[in-house]
Structure 1
Amino acid sequence: MQHRNNRGDVANCVDCYVSEHKVTDKVAFAAIDSMIEDEWKTTNQARFEHRRELFPVVQRVVNFTLSLPVYYGDRKDAFTFSTHLNGIIKNLFVKPIPI
């Protein structure tokens, strides 16, 4: 992906994975997606198994972690390009599900 290196940014996780493991971008994306899913499962498991033991600070970190798929799910950066996030907000507040 040539466009990633034109911005002068530091290497992202895909670039690092490709360089370290000598694989294609497609393989790197699949591996990173798998890692994200594993960590998501671990976070949810800890959240439900240790609900009472989690300190308020830890609970805030867990809550932040659980919100990340909203901002970065489906390889979309809703923080930078807010059209994805705009749709979620409209569905939640403008067109709520009737009770």
Structure 2
Amino acid sequence: MQLEQERLHVASAVQCYVKEHGVSDEEAIQVLLGRISDAWKDMTEVMCCHKPTPFPTPLLSPVINFARSISVIYLKADAFTYPQLLKERIAALFVHPVPL
């Protein structure tokens, strides 16, 4: 988040939430993480056929897979800005997978 503030070209979701609701950065982060968690629960329900949806699975699958890839890129750190992190994650997933 600190790097985003230094660039000054785009407001982050945290900055927008803080400005709109007048809360601390930490509180905004917790609220946004809760929303992300809720969104994952909703997507999981839809993909596991626990919740009916008017959209066909072939239409939803690419959207869900895109969300999954974004989750890997931004998990705990910004791997888009620091590609070495992404390289390590890809290697962990595909080069050195956990044996089943």
**How does the TM-score come out when normalised to structure 1?**
0.79
Which residue of structure 2 aligns with residue 25 of structure 1? 25
Identity rate of aligned residues, in percent? Answer: 37
- RMSD (Å) for aligned C-alpha atoms: 2.4
Runs of 4+ in 1 over 3 A off after TM superposition: 1-6, 96-99
**Which amino acid counterpart does residue 72 of structure 1 have in structure 2?**
Y
Distance of 2:72 and 2:9 partners within structure 1:
24
Determine the structure 1 residue equivalent to 2:71.
Answer: 69
In structure 1, distance between residues paired with 2:45 and 2:75? 20
User: Deviation digits for residues 33-85 of structure 1, max 9, x if unmatched?
Assistant: 0000000110111111159x6342321111111222111112x1112212222
TM-score between the two structures when normalised by the length of structure 2: 0.79
Partner of 1:7: 7
The higher relative CO (CA closer than 8 Å, separation ≥ 6) is in 1
In 2 relative to 1, CA 57–19 (structure 1 residues): closer, same or farther, beyond 3 Å? same
Count of aligned positions: 97
* Structure 1: runs of 5 or more not aligned: none
